Structure 1
Amino acid sequence: MNVSRANLADFVYFLAIARHQSFSRAGQEVGISASALSHAIKGLETRIGVRLLNRTTRSVTLTDAGERLHQVISTPMKEIDDAMEILNKFRDEPTGRIRLNLLSDAADLLLGPVLPIFNERYPEIQIDLTVTNLIVDVIGGGHDAGIRYGGTVPEDMITQRLSPDIRWVVAGTPEYLKRFGIPEHPNDLHNHRCLRIRLGNGAMYDWEFEKGTEKLSIAAPGTITIDETRVGLSLVRNGAGLMYAPEPAMQALVDRGEVVTVLDDWASIAPGFHMYFSSHRQLPTGLRLLIDLIREVQPLGA
């Protein structure tokens, strides 16, 4: 069988399906509907006379032939992508698409101030954001890079620091503190209503504190558990309890007097935001330009 232009396009679709094991998610990556994607793959299977995918109502998996095809074409298709990125560097107006998987905190604090400028400066570059606090295989999911706090970045990735370290604070409304008292020591939190934090891996997060050489982790008590900062900010400003959060996320409420920080002398410093990506692929031009702009704008300071 000759390698036609149609087959090359279908190979791109096939690799996206292999990454996501889902027609809908693969369709989002390549920019066509799930039904059109399914039709294209059926056409490829008909032309080559081999079934590549096992389809059920709940899953999509590769057949033995599909596994073999995936092994053979993955590397050359990646090399074609790399070649296009090399050519992109010679364009007056960079083009392409960046797919990022990032925390909601990073979306609000880091990209919120930067992307409007990026869009004005590079209007031909498309940006596709997946905002989630779940711990996922970012690269395996078809993303170019992920953005997480430095301490949670996978060890086998190349990382680029995007912000300074971040101070974490505890805050509550003046009315709440008047009713329940002001904690003077982290252990006093056991007598308070706290907004508990669930991490992306499902584990409960112990609030961390440090003062000089002393460090404490407190299993904060409370009846409300959150896994995302924005909902926590809404809850804390309405008096639901005390919240533990990145200081930049809390700062607007503090400035307006809606909440007051406590235990300031115990506030801990944690690694800031880092972008990470695979060492096995060339850095897309758009991603490099985004990193440069974040460092230029410095939305969280130098």
Structure 2
Amino acid sequence: MERLNRYRDAPTGRVRLNVVAEAASLLLAPVLPTFAERYPDIEIDIAAHDRMIDVIGNGYDAGIRHGGTVPEDMIAQRLSADLRWVVAAAPGYLEQFGTPERPEDLQHHHCLGVRLGDGRIYRWEFDGPEGEIAIAVPSKVVVDEGRAMLAMAREGVGLMYGLETTFARYVERGELRLVLEKWAAIGPGYHIYYSSRRQVPAGLRLLIDLIRELRPLGL
């Protein structure tokens, strides 16, 4: 009975989110158990992919993307600290093909190409003693989905560029190793954005507050 009374006046509703795929696992997954406990009558509908779409025009309440890719006409709130981008590979790959010592060495390696949401192939970004550089790496395999790319990297298909947080558990288990760490780039953190011309659903405000409270990726 106490539990029923506790939630008698709890908020209700449904929140539709369109998020970058990795944000679903790194940012939302850690907070959703607490959210479900606090607000059992609010549904969260998540579309997790990297395609660039008109979030509001397609019926979503909000989107989550890296800062710098958020549409300028939207209200945006930061949800994480800045993110560190690194290169990782399976130990077997490095034993067979060697370890790159500088970003330029990537021209002689197998790299997993990253197809962006707008169809372009991502140029790997680095920040070292000589400043920021972006390199078009040789890619016999190009992937547009992070989980598939991670599986390939762990199998030794090639070097992968991604978030240090994504690699952390696999590095700890010895399945991947980080390379070129001195050239790691720091990029904008995740931001949530929504229209200034629509009323923000109560559930969305509560979710934003909880992420900023729990800080799964810092803030």
RMSD (Å) for aligned C-alpha atoms: 1.1
Q: Which 5+ residue runs of structure 2 have no aligned equivalent?
A: 1-7
Letter in 2 for 1:126: E
Given the alignment, which residue of 156, 177, 183 partners 1:266? 183
Tell me, yes or no, if structure 1 residue 165 matches structure 2 residue 86: no
Shift of 1:92: 2.7
CA distance in 2, matches of 1:295, 1:220: 36
CA distance in 2, matches of 1:270, 1:301: 14
Q: Secondary structure at 1:163's aligned position in 2?
A: coil
Flag the structure with higher strand content.
2
CA distance in 2, matches of 1:102, 1:165: 17
Q: 1:95 maps to which residue?
A: 12
Give per-residue Cα distances to partners, 1:173-214, cap 9 Å, x unaligned.
111111111111101000000000000000010000011451
1:176-215 alignment runs, 5 A limit: 176-212=93-129, 214-215=131-132
Shift of 1:235: 0.6
Q: RCO greater where, 1 or 2, for CA within 8 Å and sep 6 or more?
A: 2
Given the alignment, which residue of 108, 113, 118 partners 2:25? 108
1:1-302 alignment runs, 5 A limit: 92-212=9-129, 214-302=131-219
CA 189–213 in structure 1, closer or farther in 2 if over 3 Å, else same:
closer
Q: Secondary structure at 1:200's aligned position in 2?
A: coil
CA distance in 2, matches of 1:223, 1:190: 12
CA distance in 2, matches of 1:119, 1:213: 47
CA distance in 2, matches of 1:130, 1:254: 28
CA distance in 2, matches of 1:142, 1:162: 22
Aligned length: 212
CA distance in 2, matches of 1:277, 1:118: 20
CA distance in 1, matches of 2:58, 2:67: 20
Letter in 1 for 2:27: L
CA distance in 1, matches of 2:199, 2:61: 10
Q: TM-score, normalised by structure 2?
A: 0.94
CA distance in 2, matches of 1:297, 1:287: 15
Letter in 2 for 1:263: L
CA distance in 2, matches of 1:301, 1:156: 26
Shift of 1:222: 1.7
Letter in 2 for 1:244: Y
Shift of 1:301: 2.0
Detail structure 1 runs of 4+ shifted over 6 Å in the superposition: none
Q: Taking every aligned residue pair, what percent have the same amino acid on both sides?
A: 58
Q: Secondary structure at 2:156's aligned position in 1?
A: coil
